[in-house]
Amino acid sequence: MASKKVLGLTAATAALVLGLTACGGDGGDNGGGGGGGDGDAFQFGILYPQTGSLAFLGPPQITAAEYAIEEINGAGGILGTELPAIVEGDEAGDAAQANEAANALVSDGVHAVIGAAASGMTQATYDTITGSNIVQCSGSNTSPELTNIEDGGYYFRTAPSDLLSGPVMARKIIQDGHQSVAIVARADDYGSGYAGGLQEELEAEGVEVVVSETYDPDSTTFDSVVNAVGSEEPDAIALISFEEGAQVIAQLLENDVSGDQLYITDGLNSPELGDSVDESNPEIVNGITGVAPGADNPEFNDGLGSFAPDLEVYQFAPQVFDCVTVIALAAEAAGSVDPAEYVSEMAGVSAPEGTECGSFAECRDLLADGEEINYQGVSGNIDFDDNGDPTSATFQIFHFGDDGYETLGFEEYSVNE
């Protein structure tokens, strides 16, 4: 089967030759892309959760995108033209509403879409966006199901697939001395993909997975999975969930599970988890450990903190920043804001063969000097593969202890290990 990137180049070439226009396009210099032609200001759109169950991820997504745009404009903009304010759309945790927002972004003539935040919302919108020959890049999609979507080569992500996250969690569980594990996961793409990667790694290392259960995230009680776990008496429990996981944790703790047996994922990576589990006793979560895509980059965190002093959650902010920056560099490399032209440069501007550079301005100047570049993202190496997935990632190991929420460290993981 041809790779997505091969498909993408074919689509781009056909668009340029035939002069096709995207949905809502006006012809002219637009080529086959969904946005305007050369000389236009590059218009970013963003599809992120302003409302819904993942709304807590909204502020770091939009803030990181705006921070990246400020950095780009401070360096003179894309192709010498400053970027206007980003056009926003609410994915809302609802497939129909997310797709409506995606259609609105396409109609607005954006040159790229950042997002969606949730993998399921990208599943609901990528055909609308990439089908209009517009580049889509998510900083937080982790579902393995997105690797082989039919996107014509226009979909990318800077967040690692759960096939990378699972092994990192498995290593932490084993490092802590556990030999029998229960896996509890949401019954969706996120849950099944993460659980599969985790179980495969655990079993490969000789650890027994005594139970693997899924649950309906819309349930009001989680007795069935809690009872299934309790009957097997595992050493450790891996919980793959979003905000409803707080209720699962509460029920597990009520059933004689201790905090140091629990391992959680990015969907519960919040300093306020204790309040969500038991507002009257937030310390109940002490001992819980988690794994989440992160960035060992204090300089970026300081800069983002100065840009947005009120921002409390930084989850996936570095990855979103990298989406914006790598798209901007691809447009610089192509000499065009047309997605059908710059899409073929997306992988090249972060390829290992180029000269390493760490900011839009530095990388742009190298391109102007005729050099190939290797953009080193604030989230770590990106190095897109043929499917638009990063081949390596940095993970944060977080923990709830006597002093509250803390970061224990960071771990690098690569598909080439």
Q: Both 188 and 152 in a single domain?
A: no
Alpha-carbon gap, residue 344 to 154, rounded angstroms: 9
CB atoms within 10 A of CB 194: 29
Pairing of strands 355-357, 373-375: parallel
Alpha-carbon gap, residue 30 to 238, rounded angstroms: 49
Contact 109, 35 (CB under 8 A): yes
pTM (two decimals): 0.83
Alpha-carbon gap, residue 236 to 257, rounded angstroms: 9
Confidence label for 168 from pLDDT (cuts 50, 70 and 90): very high
Q: Both 19 and 132 in a single domain?
A: yes
Contact 397, 409 (CB under 8 A): yes
What rounded mean pLDDT belongs to the chain? 89
Q: Both 16 and 77 in a single domain?
A: yes
Q: What is the DSSP letter of 390?
A: B
Burial class (CB in 10 A: 0-12, 13-18, 19+), 351: middle
Q: Both 214 and 274 in a single domain?
A: yes
Q: Both 115 and 37 in a single domain?
A: yes
Cis amide prior to 96 (ω within 30 degrees): no
Q: Both 111 and 188 in a single domain?
A: no
Q: Both 171 and 152 in a single domain?
A: no
Domain annotation covers residue 87? yes
Q: Both 130 and 174 in a single domain?
A: no
Burial class (CB in 10 A: 0-12, 13-18, 19+), 374: buried
Query: pLDDT, tens digit, for every residue of 2-33?
Result: 334 333 333 333 333 323 223 333 333 333 34
Q: What is the DSSP letter of 33?
A: S
> Which residues does residue 209 pair with via DSSP β-bridges, in sequence order?
181
Query: pLDDT, tens digit, for every residue of 337-376?
Result: 999 999 999 999 999 999 999 999 999 999 999 999 999 9
Q: Both 197 and 283 in a single domain?
A: yes
Query: pLDDT, tens digit, for every residue of 29-43?
Result: 333 344 444 458 999
CB proximity list for 77: less than 8 A, separation 6 or greater = 41, 42, 83
Amino acid 261: pLDDT: 98
Average pLDDT over residues 38-53: 89
392-401, strands of its sheet edge to edge: 208-215, 180-186, 236-240, 262-264, 289-293, 392-401, 404-414
The enclosing domain of 70 has a CATH number of 3.40.50.2300
State the sign of the Cα–Cα–Cα–Cα dihedral 123, 88, 68, 73: positive
Cα 332 to chain centroid distance, Å, stands at 24
Cα 43 to chain centroid distance, Å, stands at 21
Amino acid 20: pLDDT: 27
Q: Both 331 and 402 in a single domain?
A: no
- Give Cα separations from 77 to 43, 139, 263, 410 (angstroms): 11, 21, 43, 33
CB atoms within 10 A of CB 187: 14
Domain annotation covers residue 380? no
Pairing of strands 392-401, 289-293: antiparallel
Give the DSSP per-residue string, 256-310.
T--GGGEEE-GGG--TTHHHHH-TT-GGGGTT-EEEEE----HHHHHHHHHH-TT
Alpha-carbon gap, residue 315 to 140, rounded angstroms: 9
State both tokens at 201. 């790694």
Query: pLDDT, tens digit, for every residue of 328-338?
Result: 999 999 999 99
Among 346, 362, 384, give the residue marking a domain's end.
Answer: 346
State both tokens at 326. 């790598």
Amino acid 183: pLDDT: 98
State both tokens at 53. 């169950």
> Up-side HSE of residue 52: CA atoms within 13 Å toward CB?
20
Domain annotation covers residue 384? no
Domain annotation covers residue 207? yes
Query: pLDDT, tens digit, for every residue of 368-412?
Result: 999 999 999 999 888 999 999 998 889 999 999 999 999 999 998
Domain annotation covers residue 37? yes
Q: Which residue has the higher pLDDT, 10 or 96?
A: 96
State both tokens at 353. 């063969």
- Structural domain containing residue 242: 163-295+394-414
Domain annotation covers residue 372? no
Query: pLDDT, tens digit, for every residue of 82-95?
Result: 999 999 999 999 99
Domain annotation covers residue 246? yes
Domain tally, the chain: 2
CB atoms within 10 A of CB 316: 29
Q: Both 155 and 176 in a single domain?
A: no
Q: Both 97 and 204 in a single domain?
A: no
State both tokens at 346. 């997306």
Alpha-carbon gap, residue 115 to 323, rounded angstroms: 9
Domain annotation covers residue 301? no
Backbone angles phi, psi at 301, to 5 degrees: -60, -40
Backbone angles phi, psi at 93, to 5 degrees: 70, 20
Contact 121, 95 (CB under 8 A): yes
> What Rg value do the Cα atoms of the chain yield, rounded?
21
